[in-house]
Amino acid sequence: MSASEQVSKLEALLERVNTRRNAPRTTAAAAAPAAHDDVIARVEATPTAVNPIVPKPAPSTPKLPDAVAAKPAAAAVPAPAPTPKPAPVAVATPAPAPVAPVAAAKPAAPAIAKAALTPEPPSVDVDVVVEEGVAEVDLEGLDEEGSDVSLRDSVADLDAVAGGSSAAEDDPAASSRRPIQVQPAAGATALADAAEAKAPHPAPPESGRQVAIPAAASGEDELLKSGVRAAPVAPPEAAAAPAPLRADVTRPALAAESPAVFHGAAPIAAPATFGELLEATLSL
């Protein structure tokens, strides 16, 4: 049964009730019409039993959009519309989205708390029509005077809870998309210019630890001071591997025959007698 058919049935029912009320009453059944009128009056005076849309704490998996579309629809179908078909407010709810990632679910927590702390809005008449993922909600009394919190805000909060589809959550900050570097690169050199431009963030410091400036590689100090990286200077090859020092010995080629000629013999003092030696030793 479509909504239009339901509305038409309700209108027909209302018209028949009005017709019976305007019809002449018989005496015999005087008590009965009186009771009937009383019933009609109570029906008119009774507000439509529609549960107000009150944000409830969402479960861990945001399926609130489905709940929003189902509960009011069950309660709104039997409710007669006192006014002829007000302009429906169409609220497009997307198809049930998959479970949002953990990073996207975190921003929903404040929204839940805010919705839970908001005062209960005044009673409103809501007609909800669900057609394959699209819910049409007729909000009567929206933004009525005296309501502290508008229903549109509540709906927006519910969308935030159930969402995960907002542009702000889908598109995180650029800095957050950069991977976090776990360990600082040990072999970072001055030649890693291009790689350093896209270098990941350093790991956040541990709580309570004094973070010092990382040890700069060769040329990093100059880079930090002047912003200009000095070109690497290659060490000279001679200093890198000094050749061992060896002596080059040149020996003379001596002649086979002796260059000197000896004649005679050196005089040897040899006393012939004991007396000569005794005189010599006593002369010392």
Partner 1 sequence: MNAQSKPGPVDFDLSRGRVERRASTDSANAKGGHDDQVVLVPLSALAGLEKIAGHEATKQFARAIGVPLGRRVAARLGSANGVAAASLDAFVSALATELAVSGWGVLHLERWGKAMVLVVEHTPSLPAAAFAALLEGAVEAAAAREVHAVALVSGAGDNAATSTRVLIASEKTAQQAQRWLIEGMSESDVIRKLHDAAKSTGGAA
Binding site for partner 1 (CB under 8 A): 269-275, 277-278, 280-284
SS3 130: strand
To partner 1, the closest distance from the beta carbon of 274 in angstroms equals 4
Instruction: List residues bridging with 125 in a β-sheet.
Output: 140
Q: How many Å apart are CA 239 and CA 235, to the nearest integer?
A: 7
- Fill in the DSSP letter of residue 125: E
Nearer to partner 1, 176 or 273 (CB): 273
Nearer to partner 1, 13 or 280 (CB): 280
Nearer to partner 1, 254 or 270 (CB): 270
Q: Which residues of 219-231 are buried (b: 16+ CB within 10 A; e: fewer)?
A: bbeebeeeeebee
Q: Which of 148, 213, 217 is nearest to 188 (CA)?
A: 217
Nearer to partner 1, 262 or 274 (CB): 274
To partner 1, the closest distance from the beta carbon of 270 in angstroms equals 8
To partner 1, the closest distance from the beta carbon of 267 in angstroms equals 10
For 260, phi then psi, to 5°, come to: -105, 150
Nearer to partner 1, 230 or 277 (CB): 277
To partner 1, the closest distance from the beta carbon of 283 in angstroms equals 5
Nearer to partner 1, 175 or 281 (CB): 281
With the C-alpha atoms ordered 110, 113, 115, 118, is the resulting torsion angle positive or negative? negative
Q: How many Å apart are CA 3 and CA 88, to the nearest integer?
A: 12
To partner 1, the closest distance from the beta carbon of 264 in angstroms equals 19
How many C-beta atoms lie closer than 10 Å to residue 36's C-beta? 15
Q: Which of 17, 110, 130, 4 is nearest to 58 (CA)?
A: 110
To partner 1, the closest distance from the beta carbon of 240 in angstroms equals 57
To partner 1, the closest distance from the beta carbon of 265 in angstroms equals 18
To partner 1, the closest distance from the beta carbon of 242 in angstroms equals 50
How many C-beta atoms lie closer than 10 Å to residue 128's C-beta? 24
Nearer to partner 1, 247 or 284 (CB): 284
> Residues with Cβ < 8 Å from 229, sequence gap 6 or more?
190, 193, 219, 222, 223
| AA identity, residue 33 | P
Q: How many Å apart are CA 178 and CA 143, to the nearest integer?
A: 44
Nearer to partner 1, 29 or 277 (CB): 277
